[in-house]
């Protein structure tokens, strides 16, 4: 957040990040976040779904449902290339 303060930023209108660590650091330093936006599903590649599901299950920001343990077992990542 120091860089944001150096640039004179006091308010972020739309923060596109799922990271609670980033959000907490920004707001904890006194910068107001007006709206928090998750990464749109259509921008997440199919083979990255496993990572996003794991992150939301671990507490990353999402306005939607959080996958449970059974749903996490369904998500598949990319296969190994020979």
Q: What is the pLDDT of residue 20?
A: 86
Q: What is the pLDDT of residue 13?
A: 97
Of 7-11, 26-30, 59-63, 71-75, the poorest mean pLDDT is in 71-75
pLDDT value at 63 more than 90: no
Structure tokens at 63: 């306005």
pTM of the model: 0.65
User: Which residues neighbour 33 within 8 Å (Cβ) at sequence distance 6 or greater?
Assistant: 11, 12, 15, 23, 26, 27
- The candidate with the shortest Cα–Cα distance to 36, out of 54, 57, 18, is 18
- Work out the mean pLDDT of the chain and round it to a whole number: 82
Cα separation of 75 and 49, whole Å? 7
Band the pLDDT of 47: cuts 50, 70, 90: confident
Cα separation of 16 and 38, whole Å? 6
Q: What are the structural domain ranges in the chain?
A: 1-37, 40-82
């Amino acid at each position: 957040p120091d860089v944001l303060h150096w640039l004179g930023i006091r308010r972020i209108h739309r923060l596109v990040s799922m990271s609670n660590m980033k959000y907490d650091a920004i707001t904890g330093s006194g910068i107001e976040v007006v709206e928090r936006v998750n990464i749109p599903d259509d921008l997440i590649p199919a083979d990255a779904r496993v990572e996003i599901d794991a992150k939301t299950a671990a507490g990353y920001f999402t306005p939607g449902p959080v996958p449970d343990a059974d749903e996490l077992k369904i998500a598949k990542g990319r296969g190994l290339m020979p």
